[in-house]
Amino acid sequence: MEMISSNKSFGGWHKQYRHDSAVLGCRMRFAVYLPPQAASGQQVPVLYWLSGLTCTDENFMQKAGALRVAAELGIAIVAPDTSPRGDDVADDAGYDLGQGAGFYVNASEAPWMRHYRMYDYVSQELPALVAAHFPVSGRRAIAGHSMGGHGALICALKRPQDYVSVSAFSPIANPLNAPWGQKAFSAYLGDNRAAWQEWDASVLMAAAGADAQLPARVDIGLADGFLAEQLQPEALERAAAASGYPLQLHRHDGYDHSYYFIASFIEAQLRFHAGHLFA
């Protein structure tokens, strides 16, 4: 790994790294916040944060206001990029496909399948790298926003053994029936809609057995312009009711899709995760 930057914050350290990803076949960047407790040699639990369309590792770390609370609680935060990057990595002119829009799936279609295996990267390769290089414990939680909220939910639903809790802000809850999801899934996964179902949080949650369920919190802003067409939280609510999944869905009047919303409730989400990371 190559360290790009290092900044002290609230007694801990925010650092950016580059590394060669074997899974994605390109150079990747991620950020990590190590709380002050990690400096004393204490192993700390980790929250993985997955960002939304057009974002990088920097958006959450700089805008969410999470580091003060993470320092208090003693939680490390790891924020990967949202897609593979590079001149030889497939891309699209639209903001909602290609670089910056990996959707946290494993692509099966050309030209995307060569690099776009973000699910394997965020759920397996990156956690192994973090565990090898930083003083973290084996206790993990996962969270995200919008496309990253979709990513956090499917990681928790597909690999519940790896996490103690999951949360999301404004997730794309039912990509099978959302324009963003349909565009990305058509490109990355092909035209067989049956294959899309294993990457749809509402489908996975409806089928989740009691032994595969994690504490889950979702926050939605009722003034979000993407709410009805792209996010469809009601589909997630119906799925949780069908399987008995322990989902807390919080609706907030007047809040939109922006980082102003995330910054307003990130403390509540971090304290939610702390209740399970330290249980």
Q: Tell me which residues are annotated as active site.
A: 146, 224, 257
For 63-135, strand residue ranges (E) read 76-80
Task: Map residue 9 onto helix, strand or coil.
Answer: strand
- The rounded distance, in Å, linking the Cα atoms of 244 and 46 is 27
Amino acid at 64: A
For the chain, strand residue ranges (E) read 2-9, 12-21, 26-34, 44-50, 76-80, 136-145, 166-169, 216-221, 247-252
The token pair at 171 is: 């997730």
* DSSP conformational letter for 198: G
